[in-house]
Amino acid sequence: MKFAKELTERFLRYVAIPSESNGRAGVVPSSEGQRELARLLEGELREMGLEEIELDEHAILTARLPGNKPGAPAIGWVAHLDTVPVSLSPEVHPQILHYEGGDVCLNAEKDIWLRLAEHPELAEYVGQDIVFTDGTSVLGSDDKAAIANVMTMLSALVADKSIPHGDIRVAFVPDEEIGLCGAKLMDLEKWKVDFAYTIDCCSVGEIVYETFNAGSVLFEIEGVTAHPMSAKGVLVNPLLVGADIMACFDRKQTPEHTDGHDGYWWFWGCEANDSRCTLRMNIRDHSKENYEARKKYVLDVVDMIRVRHPRAKIDVTLTDVYGNIIDALGEDRGPIDMLYQACDELGITPKTIAMRGGTDGSVLSVRGVLTPNYFTGGLNFHSNAEFLPIPSLCKSHAMTMKLIELAAR
C-alpha cells in the first residue's frame, strides 16, 4: 500500500476529466475530453523530466524514460484515454467508501443501490476502501486506473534512480473503446520497444494474452416506397428485409447466450424509415478459422436475401477491427512468462482468461509488438456498478514495478 495515496489522487484527478469516446465522430480523437486529458498528462510527464515527449494531432501521447541498466529490454506500457460511450452521464462523480458489507447506497437522492445479491463479488472486499460511482455514470477505471498506475510507476522511477531498468516507453492513446483507433495510428518506428503491456482487465490476478478476432458489419438496405392503398406488388419494406437478415443469425450465438471461447453475432444498431434501413452488427470469435467462416456466412446471407427480395438494394460492408493476441505470439513467451513470475513473487494467484473483447494489445501484437494484458483491479467495467478497491489498484501497481524488476535482472 506504499503508493496508495498517489495512485488514488492521480486516479481521481484523471476521472474528473470527461473523456467518453464517440463512435459517430469519424475523427481521432473522437472527443475533446481525450485531448484535454492527454494535455494534462503531457504536462505531468514534462514535470517529471521524461524525454521524447510527443503529443500528436490524434491526441496520442508518447514519452521515454531512459534506462539505467545496460542490456535490459525496452518495455512499453499502453493505456487508453477514453471511457466507454454508454447511455449514462459522461461526468464521473467518484466517491470513496469504506465497505463494511451488505448493499451500498450509491446515490441517496436518486435511490441508486449496488445490491450484494446482484453483485456477490462485493463480498470479497469487506473492510477495504473502495472507489464507487454515484450511480449515474461508469467509474472510468477502464482505463484511468491504468493511467494512474503507469504515471505513478514513472514518478517512482524518477524519484529513485537506484531502481534498475531498461528504456521505458509509454503511450496514452485515444478511442480504444470504439475500435482501438489510437493503437492503430501509433508510429511504431518511433515507439521502439522489445515488448509491451496493457493494463486493461479486471480483478486481481487476471492475465490476458488471448482476445477475440473482431469485425464489424454494416448492412444498408434500400426498399421501394408506395402508399399503402396502392402498395400491393410495389412496396418493398426495408425494415422487413432487415428483419429477414437478422433472422438468419442463430439467436443462441449472441452475447447473452455465450461465454468462454464461444464466438457470437451481435446486432447492436438499427436506423430505419419507410425507404431505408441500416443494421450494424459485430462479429467475434477467438478462432481465426471460425472468424473467417463467420464473415463468409454474412456474405452468403446477403446473397440469399437478395434472391428473396430482388427489388431491394442491399449493400454490406465488412471491416476487420482487431485480431487475437495469441495468433501473433510466435515462439517468444518471455513477456507472458514474466507476468506469471511476477504474480508468484507477489503472492498473487494468476487467473488466465480468454478475454471476451479486445485491448490495444490486440492491434499492437498483430503489428509486431507482443503486448499481453494484466489487471487494473477494477470490476464491472462499462456499467454504473463499476468499482475499484484501492488495495487492488495497489496490487496492479506492484505488478508493474515487479515486471520492471524482473526485466532488469
- Domain containing residue 243: CATH number: 3.30.70.360
Find, among 253, 228, 207, 237, the residue nearest to 372 by Cα.
207
Domain termination site, one of 306, 322, 338: 322
Give the separation between CA 204 and CA 359, rounded to whole angstroms: 17
pTM for the structure as a whole = 0.94
Determine the pLDDT at residue 164: 98
Q: 115 and 197 share a domain?
A: yes
Q: Considering 322, 345, 379, which residue would you say is the last residue of a domain? A: 322
Report in angstroms the alpha-carbon separations of 133 from 112, 120, 137, 387: 10, 17, 7, 7
Residues 156 and 259 grouped into a single domain:
no
> Would you state the pLDDT for residue 2?
86
Burial of 186 (0-12, 13-18, 19+ CB in 10 A): buried
Q: Based on the fold, state whether residues 156 and 72 are members of the same structural domain.
A: yes
Instruction: Give the per-residue pLDDT at 152.
Output: 98
| Same domain assignment for residues 341 and 402 | yes
**Residue numbers annotated as active site:** 82, 176
Domain count, the chain: 2
CA distance readout (Å), 396 to 141, 195, 339, 342: 12, 19, 11, 11
Residues 6+ apart with CB under 8 A from 396: 145, 146, 149, 199, 204, 374, 375, 376, 377
pLDDT of the residue at 87 = 86
Q: Which residues pair with 199 in a beta bridge?
A: 374
What are 197's three cell numbers?
A: 503491456
Q: For residue 352, what are the domain limits?
A: 4-211+324-408
Same domain, 70 and 200: yes
Domain at 371, CATH number: 3.40.630.10
β-bridge mates for residue 320, sequence order:
215
Question: Do 93 and 203 have their domain in common?
Answer: yes
Q: Do 286 and 314 belong to one domain?
A: yes
Cβ-Cβ contacts under 8 Å for 338 (sequence gap 6 or more) = 403, 406, 407
Q: How many helices (H) and strands (E) does the chain have?
A: 9, 17
Q: Are residues 286 and 340 in the same domain?
A: no
pLDDT, residue 47, reads 98
Regarding whether 102 and 227 lie in a shared domain, the answer is no
Tens digits of pLDDT across the chain (409 residues): 789 999 999 999 999 999 999 998 999 999 999 999 999 999 999 999 999 999 999 999 999 999 999 999 999 999 999 999 998 999 999 999 999 999 999 999 999 999 999 999 999 999 999 999 999 999 999 999 999 999 999 999 999 999 999 999 999 999 999 999 999 999 999 999 999 999 999 999 999 999 999 999 999 999 999 999 999 999 999 999 999 999 999 999 999 999 999 999 999 999 999 999 999 999 999 999 999 999 999 999 999 999 999 999 999 999 999 999 999 888 889 999 999 999 999 999 999 999 999 999 999 999 999 999 999 999 999 999 999 999 999 999 999 999 999 999 9
CB-based contact 142:84 (threshold 8 Å): yes
Residue 145's closest CA among 196, 80, 207, 99?
80
Strands (E), 332-398: 351-354, 373-375, 387-389
Within a 10 A sphere around the Cβ of 6, how many other Cβ atoms?
15
**pLDDT given for residue 330 in this prediction:** 81
Tell me: do 235 and 246 sit in the same domain. Answer: yes
Beta strands at 95-98 and 129-132: parallel, antiparallel or unpaired: antiparallel
Same-domain pairing of 23 and 130: yes
Q: Which of 322, 346, 377 is the last residue of a domain?
A: 322
Are 372 and 348 in a shared domain?
Answer: yes
- DSSP tag of 224: B
The whole-number pLDDT of residue 310 equals 97
